[in-house]
């Protein structure tokens, strides 16, 4: 253990936390900034997608790859970031990740064509290091009860950031153009790097001799049927949300005639529902059980999508016909995803770290897949129906995978 790590661990034991002092455990503000950077880079520029398609002279299905491939890159990176931080330490891996993110963001501002822009978005995905390592850092420096409280603030940030991101991005797009959102991302990247550099000392007191040591646990996790059930449930539930992230801007602006700012404001509806779903989940999951919570959440989301389709088939082509049911979809996701994440790491408790990384990767990869499908199917003449079809199918698959988990849990006698 090096001297910097010893100081940080000693300060943690004494309960000392001083902001911008790397000899004490990182302040909650630092963890929130790291997480928010990853969350905002996902959807800050969403209202600009139609305008970006016009600027680069490409189809919407191509510009939408800046979302779906970004998510796919995050899924892959999650598999390596955790083991890398176990080997080299949390601090250097986080600083490296945000450094790559900043360079890629600046390069995107001068992208000469759509291919370079997509490549820059792939490297921007390194921002996921903030989301992955914030959880590990809390585990390094906190007792379980205190860790739960800190992670609550981090999860709150992950809910609020996607809510306000499109609102800010829509305003910037109308005031300037699509580059304004990337300039803001660059500024956030600079600020986050500065805060992490000054405040985050090394918290990993037991570095592993090899990155392969943790990855060797993956085969045992993969053999668990319940792990796959929980992971697919999370992937399909997230898939409905990410399909909306990828296709919502096109449907809102090209079909429903909303401005980028209006889209950003309407988009908050799904995040409001998600935040309330998380609140309810924290209050009642202990009594209901995670399997029943997942079934209730996915059933609610699926019912909301049927309502949405029914409203448009009835001729009610109004933004509220799309966004009002999205509140219930978000609520259902808020009920489902915490329980699915808990299930992933509970089927093999001693391999919780590996299960968390692999399950998170599957979840984001599934979301990226549904987002890609939605973007490919979108067409102005087809209206809202391709997007609604993909979202409805994703939630139906989530119900099926939840029922599979319930069946397997009964077979092994470990209902949760």
Range of weakest confidence among 49-63, 88-102, 117-131, 362-376: 362-376
Q: Give backbone dihedrals phi and psi of 20, rounded to 5 degrees, phi first.
A: 65, 30
> Of 98, 124, 96, 99, which is closest to residue 111 (Cα–Cα)?
124
Q: Do 240 and 261 share a domain, yes or no? A: yes
Q: Do 91 and 175 share a domain, yes or no? A: yes
Contact 37/86 with Cβ under 8 angstroms? no
Residue 2 lies in a domain: no
Give the span between the Cα atoms of 138 and 216, in whole angstroms. 24
Q: Do 235 and 210 share a domain, yes or no? A: no
Q: What's the token pair of residue 310?
A: 């029914």
pLDDT band at 145 (very low <50, low <70, confident <90, very high): very low
Q: What is the per-residue pLDDT for 210?
A: 65
Measured in Å, how far apart are the chain's first and last C-alpha atoms? 39
Q: Do 198 and 225 share a domain, yes or no? A: no
> Of 176, 200, 193, 173, which is closest to residue 49 (Cα–Cα)?
173
Contact 84/210 with Cβ under 8 angstroms? no
Q: Do 167 and 223 share a domain, yes or no? A: no
What is the b/e burial string over 118-152, where b = at least 16 CB atoms within 10 angstroms of the residue's CB?
Answer: bebbbbbbbbbbbbbbbbbbbebbbeeeebeebbe
Residue 83 lies in a domain: yes
Give the span between the Cα atoms of 247 and 151, in whole angstroms. 30
> Of 265, 101, 31, which is closest to residue 171 (Cα–Cα)?
265
Domain C-terminal end among 186, 215, 244: 215
Q: What is the per-residue pLDDT for 102?
A: 97
State the chain's mean pLDDT as an integer. 82
| Angle, in degrees to the nearest 10, between helices 290-313 and 385-412 | 160
Q: Is the dihedral of CA 34, 391, 397, 66 positive or negative?
A: negative
- CATH code assigned at 416: 1.20.1250.20
The whole-number average pLDDT for the span 311-317 is 91
Contact 298/305 with Cβ under 8 angstroms? no
Residue 6 lies in a domain: no
Contacts of residue 30, defined as CB under 8 A and 6 or more positions apart, other chains included, come to 19, 195, 196, 199, 200
pLDDT band at 238 (very low <50, low <70, confident <90, very high): confident
Most confident stretch, 68-77, 105-114, 199-208: 105-114
H-assigned helices in 176-289: 179-199, 212-215, 218-222, 225-250, 260-288
Residue 133 lies in a domain: yes
Q: Do 184 and 229 share a domain, yes or no? A: no
Q: Do 343 and 223 share a domain, yes or no? A: yes
Residue ranges making up the domain that contains 159 = 16-215
Range of weakest confidence among 199-208, 283-292, 297-306, 405-414: 199-208
Q: Give backbone dihedrals phi and psi of 23, rounded to 5 degrees, phi first.
A: -85, -10
What total number of domains does the chain contain? 2
pLDDT band at 113 (very low <50, low <70, confident <90, very high): very high
The whole-number average pLDDT for the span 160-189 is 87
pLDDT at 8 over 60: no
The whole-number average pLDDT for the span 56-78 is 86
The whole-number average pLDDT for the span 161-166 is 74
pLDDT band at 150 (very low <50, low <70, confident <90, very high): low
Q: What's the alpha-carbon Rg for the chain, to the nearest Å? A: 21
Q: Which residue has the tokens 């990155």?
A: 211
Contacts of residue 115, defined as CB under 8 A and 6 or more positions apart, other chains included, come to none
Residue 9 lies in a domain: no
> Of 366, 368, 341, which is closest to residue 355 (Cα–Cα)?
341
Domain C-terminal end among 215, 249, 280: 215
pLDDT band at 140 (very low <50, low <70, confident <90, very high): confident
Condensed to tens digits (0 to 9), the pLDDT of residues 345-378 reads: 677 655 555 676 677 788 878 887 888 888 788 8
Q: What's the token pair of residue 107?
A: 């390069």
Domain C-terminal end among 215, 243, 263: 215
pLDDT at 29 over 90: no
pLDDT band at 153 (very low <50, low <70, confident <90, very high): low
DSSP result, 162-187: HHHHHHHHHHHHHHS-THHHHHHHHH
Q: Do 208 and 239 share a domain, yes or no? A: no
Q: Do 252 and 353 share a domain, yes or no? A: yes
Q: What is the per-residue pLDDT for 349?
A: 58
Q: Which residue has the tokens 């990182």?
A: 26
> Of 235, 169, 168, 188, which is closest to residue 397 (Cα–Cα)?
235
Residue 312 lies in a domain: yes
Return the DSSP state at 297: H
Q: Do 313 and 210 share a domain, yes or no? A: no
């Amino acid at each position: 253990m090096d001297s910097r790590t010893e100081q940080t661990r000693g300060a943690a034991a004494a309960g000392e936390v001083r902001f911008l002092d790397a000899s004490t455990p990182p302040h909650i503000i630092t963890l929130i900034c790291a997480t928010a950077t990853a969350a905002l880079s996902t959807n800050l520029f969403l209202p600009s997608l139609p305008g970006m398609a016009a600027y680069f002279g490409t189809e919407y299905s191509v510009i939408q790859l800046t979302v779906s491939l970004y998510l796919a890159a995050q899924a892959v990176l999650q598999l390596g970031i955790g083991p890398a931080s176990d080997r080299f330490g949390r601090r250097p891996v986080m600083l490296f990740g945000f450094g790559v993110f900043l360079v890629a963001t600046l390069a995107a501002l001068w992208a000469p064509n759509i291919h370079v822009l997509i490549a820059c978005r792939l490297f921007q995905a390194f921002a996921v290091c903030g989301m992955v390592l914030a959880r590990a850092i809390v585990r390094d420096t906190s007792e379980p009860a205190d860790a739960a409280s800190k992670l609550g603030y981090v999860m709150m940030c992950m809910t609020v950031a996607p809510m306000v991101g499109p609102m800010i991005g829509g305003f910037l797009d109308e005031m300037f153009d699509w580059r304004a959102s990337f300039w803001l991302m660059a500024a956030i990247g600079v600020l986050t790097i500065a805060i992490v550099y000054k405040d985050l000392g090394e918290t990993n007191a037991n570095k592993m001799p090899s990155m392969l040591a943790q990855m060797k646990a993956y085969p045992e996790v993969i053999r668990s049927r319940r792990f796959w059930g929980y992971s697919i449930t999370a992937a399909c539930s997230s898939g409905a949300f990410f399909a909306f992230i990828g296709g919502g801007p096109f449907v809102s602006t090209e079909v429903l005639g909303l401005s980028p700012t209006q889209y950003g404001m309407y988009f908050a509806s799904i995040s409001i529902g998600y935040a309330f779903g998380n609140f309810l989940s924290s209050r009642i999951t202990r009594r209901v059980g995670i399997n029943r919570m997942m079934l209730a959440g996915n059933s609610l989301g699926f019912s909301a999508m049927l309502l949405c389709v029914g409203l448009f088939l009835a001729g009610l082509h109004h933004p509220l016909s799309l966004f009002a049911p999205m509140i219930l979809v978000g609520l259902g996701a808020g009920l489902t995803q915490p329980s699915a994440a808990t299930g992933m790491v509970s089927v093999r408790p001693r391999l919780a770290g590996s299960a968390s990384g692999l399950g998170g990767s599957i979840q984001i990869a599934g979301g990226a897949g549904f987002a890609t499908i939605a973007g490919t199917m979108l067409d102005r003449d087809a209206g809202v129906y391709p997007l609604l079809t993909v979202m409805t199918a994703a939630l139906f698959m989530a119900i099926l995978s939840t029922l599979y988990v319930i069946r397997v849990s009964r077979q092994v006698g470990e209902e949760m």
